[in-house]
Amino acid sequence: MDRSPLVRNIIFVLLFVAVITLAFSFEVFFKILLVIVGFGAIIFVHELGHFVAAKATGVRVHRFYLGFCPTIEIPAGEYRFLWIGPKFHFPGFKWEMKLFSVQIGETEYGVGLLPLGGFVHMAGEPGSEEAETGGSTDPRDFTSKPAWARSTILVAGAFMNVVFAFVFFIAAFMVGVDFVSPEIGHVLSTIPVVGPDGRVKAVPGPAWVAGMESGDEIVAVNGKPYREFSEIVTEIKLLPSDSNVTLTVERLLPGGGRKRMSFTMEPEPGPQGFQVGLTPVQSLKAGKFIKGSPAAKSGMQLGSTIESVTFGNETTPVSDVESLALAIKDRAGQTGVFQIRRRDGIKEQIRIPIERPSGRKDWQLGFTQGGQLTVFAHRVSAKQEIVTSFPKGAVITEVTVTDADGGQKTHKLFSRSGLEHVIKAAGGNLEFKVRLHGIESSVNIDANRFKNDYLPNLAIETSPPELGVVVGRIEPGSAIEEKGIAAGDTLLAIGSVPLKGFIDAMIAIQNSKGESIKLTYLDAESDEKKTINITPRRPKDGTIGVFFEPKMFTLTRGPWEACVLGVNRTWLWGKRIFLILRSLFTGTVEAKNLAGPVGILNIMYLITQYGIGKYLYILGLICINLAIVNLLPIPLLDGGHLMIILIEKIIRRPVPLKYQNAAAWVGLILILSLLVFTTFWDIKRLFMY
């Protein structure tokens, strides 16, 4: 079908961007060229399907082109140069942007100069002059053909997309595709969910409650084998409401060997679908740089892996994100020498300055949010004594640490991080004060046993007050510590602005821009309201501005196995598109997660850095998407025309042209509205970092 006006605009923008970037970066130009070629291939095979079906059913085809050939025309007439000066006569200009064309029989075949996609122009096709005037008596027009022939032509475009999705998948697996490892990095004890009232609240992580652990490797979802973390997450996201999921894992045993285990849980709803609270293992391979960050300016390449960092004569090997964060902690203002291994295997040393993190932590007083420390869940594998000692709903108010020499020190508890900090170096007895339903009791536990057996099986949340901000843990040497404010004190106001919550406090601190502020707080020990002047400081923690990739593996197969995987992925993703549509209608997936043209092109551009295998795989996914979405019963799409044919068969007469035009306007409004909506979120995501 001839959809050249809409696609031409996309092409023009892409080509304009490509030409500009060629002057600055050949690498960026090459990536944009890959996007143009890939996007064009998907559109061209779709139009090729319409063309082949039209020829097979005897419909006259006027033109079939690879690429687009818009006409640039300036009519003859009187003109002024830049709208000023004397008039002059221009004889007129007209140029059709095509490389060449050839007439073979009734069809003109050609190559347009805009190399993205293609088009087929059939006699009497929907939207053509013949169709708009009520059809034609020519038996070779599209509108004159029987319903089965018109339906075949309309479906053929999507059919070709499915065929080429299969081809792209086969090629991808023969080249090799990088996927995220199914090894679990973190099992979250709490996850955020949106309640019926629209407010975000914390709930126990289903995977944590079920007993899954970091290092477990997922091998199956509901009995079906899976090898990629992203595929596993997608399968969970698209589950029906009120359904359980069983994850089968292989766990590395302390003495060596692996044990297969299964965990059943009920996923929790999230903005992108259902979730169970799992994250993949992170590598130290650079996946993205924050714009303007030290790493972005250093010349470090995407895909490079950090192996060690040196400050002066002190070299620290790093193996994960946590060890890197520890190595550069408190190094803000210094320059480190980073030993890296590039994607091509070459090792090099790069000097990168360590900067303070930008954003909401530009200024700080040096405390974490606190409140009541409440037990709100246990793991199903937790021993009965743990559940009995720290029952659900219990508030842990304080802990007394007794060291080996018999010395004791009592700590009030207002945050989990504060609890972990207190018991980190403890080696003797711990006596906890626990309050449940107004009744207070004591629990005595050996410190090592609490750290190893109890704490990993307790989900503890900090419940903030309705007004004010409770101080949780205080950073040593911070501004707030020097002023004598203690954990448990409640911050009431900054300046004349009362604090309703932690976000209010952070905004007020940032607005100070490092100038002294008046802080009003309630002293928990004396129950007195006090006011002091305090100056926020820059954070000591350092950053280099890198988002690291998760741990990856490459899946490569021979021709036969690649064909089997191609069939599997074509069917799997075809089914998932329908599941996504179902989730959108049921509300389990928010519409803002949809990607429009800007988002799709951006994804294709980003994928080019991961190799040709991943690029071909994404082309296969886009082909499947285009095939199914184009067959939805929306006017203007092929599916909308199929719906009109179905109505004709039911009522046994043609649908009046005025109703078809009205439906087309409705479809246009729907498509434009969706385009504006998705483009808004695409652009917002582009500028998120």
Tell me the per-residue pLDDT of 351-389, one tens digit each, with 9 for 90 and over: 999 887 665 457 888 888 888 888 988 898 888 998 889
Please answer whether residues 675 and 597 qualify as being in contact, where contact means their C-beta atoms are separated by less than 8 angstroms. yes
Report the pLDDT value the prediction gives residue 4, as an integer from 0 to 100: 47
What's the CA gap between 43 and 48, in Å, rounded? 9
Q: Which amino acid is at 652?
A: R
Residues 6+ apart with CB under 8 A from 194: 200, 269, 270, 271
Residue type, 611: G
Cβ count near 499 (within 10 Å): 22
- CATH H superfamily, domain 367-534: PDZ domain (2.30.42.10)
Q: What is the DSSP letter of 513?
A: T
Whether 265 and 207 have beta carbons less than 8 Å apart is answered as yes
Predicted confidence (pLDDT) at residue 477 exceeds the cutoff of 50: yes
Average pLDDT over every residue of 201-219: 90
CA dist 485 and 66 (Å) reads 72
Q: Three-state SS across 206-257?
A: HHHHHCCCCCCEEEEECCEECCCHHHHHHHHHCCCCCCCEEEEEEEECCCCC
**Both tokens assigned to 440:** 């207070």
CA atoms of 24 and 12, how far apart (whole Å): 19
DSSP state for residue 142 in the 8-state scheme: G
pLDDT band at 411 (very low <50, low <70, confident <90, very high): confident
Q: Report residue 366 CA to chain centroid gap.
A: 31
The superfamily in CATH containing domain 282-357+542-549 is PDZ domain (2.30.42.10)
Provide the pLDDT confidence category of residue 244 given band limits of 50, 70 and 90: very high
The string of pLDDT tens digits covering residues 17-40 is 555 555 455 666 777 777 778 888
C-alpha span between 618 and 474 (Å, rounded): 47
Reference 463, options 372, 369, 368; nearest CA is: 372
pLDDT band at 689 (very low <50, low <70, confident <90, very high): very low
What digits encode the pLDDT tens for the residues 579-599? Answer: 777 777 776 666 666 666 667
The C-alpha atoms of residue 204 and residue 437 are separated, in whole angstroms, by 21
- Tell me, what amino acid is at 501? G
How large is the average pLDDT for residues 134-148?
76
CB of 71 closer than 8 Å to CB of 95 = yes
Band of residue 128 on the pLDDT scale cut at 50, 70, 90: low
The whole-angstrom distance between residue 30's C-alpha and the CA centroid of its chain comes to 25
Residue 338 banded pLDDT, cuts 50, 70, 90: very high
Number of separate helices (H) and strands (E) present in the chain: 18, 38
Pairing of strands 61-68, 107-112: parallel
Say yes or no: do domains 184-280 and 367-534 share a fold. Answer: yes
Q: Under CATH, which architecture does the 184-280 domain have?
A: Roll (2.30)
Top-confidence residue, 558 or 403: 558
Residue 543, strand partner residues: 355
Q: Which residues pair with 108 in a beta bridge?
A: 63, 103
Spatial distance between the Cα atoms of 643 and 154, rounded to a whole number of angstroms? 11
Tell me the pLDDT of the chain averaged across its residues.
82
Instruction: Look at the block and give the residue holding tokens 């007794």.
Output: 402
Q: Is 55 exposed, middle or buried (0-12, 13-18, 19+ CB in 10 A)?
A: middle
Percent of residues in the chain assigned helix, strand, coil, to nearest 5: 40, 30, 30
The confidence score (pLDDT) of residue 10 equals: 53
Asked if 497 and 510 count as a contact pair (C-beta separation under 8 A), the reply is: no
In which band, very low, low, confident or very high, does the pLDDT at 116 lie, cut at 50, 70 and 90?
A: low
Q: Which of 128-142, 199-213, 279-293, 550-564 has the lowest mean pLDDT?
A: 128-142
Between 70-79, 364-373, 461-470, 507-516, the lowest mean confidence (pLDDT) is in: 70-79
Once rounded to an integer, what is the mean pLDDT over residues 142-154? 86
Q: Taking the complete model, does pTM exceed 0.85, yes or no? A: no
What is the per-residue pLDDT across 478-498, written as a single tens digit (0 to 9) for each? 888 888 888 888 999 988 888
Contact 548, 364 (CB under 8 A): no
Which strand (E) or helix (H) includes residue 286?
strand 282-289
Cα Rg of the chain, angstroms: 32
Measured N-to-C along each axis, helices 26-56 and 597-607 cross at an angle, to the nearest 10 degrees, of 120
The answer for 580, left when phi > 0, alpha when psi is -120 to 50, beta otherwise, is alpha
CA nearest 432: which of 441, 420, 422? Answer: 441
Helices (H), 57-117: none
Query: Is 272 exposed, middle or buried, given 0-12, 13-18 or 19+ CB atoms closer than 10 A?
Result: middle
One-letter amino acid of 233: V
> Could you tell me if 227 and 249 are in contact, meaning their C-beta atoms sit under 8 angstroms apart?
no
Q: How many CA within 13 A on the CB side of residue 443?
A: 24
Question: What is the tens place of the pLDDT at every residue in 439-459?
Answer: 899 999 988 888 888 888 888
Q: Which of 46, 69, 75, 50 is nearest to 61 (CA)?
A: 50
Residue labelled with tokens 């008596």 = 137
pLDDT over 70, % of the chain: 87
How many Cβ atoms sit within 10 Å of the Cβ of residue 240? 11
Does 69 score more than 50 pLDDT? Answer: yes
As beta bridge partners, residue 215 has none
On the question of pLDDT at 337 being above 80, the answer is: yes
The predicted structure's pLDDT at residue 126: 66
The domain ranges of the chain are 4-177+566-686, 184-280, 282-357+542-549, 367-534
Residues 6 or more apart whose CB falls under 8 angstroms from that of 25 comprise none
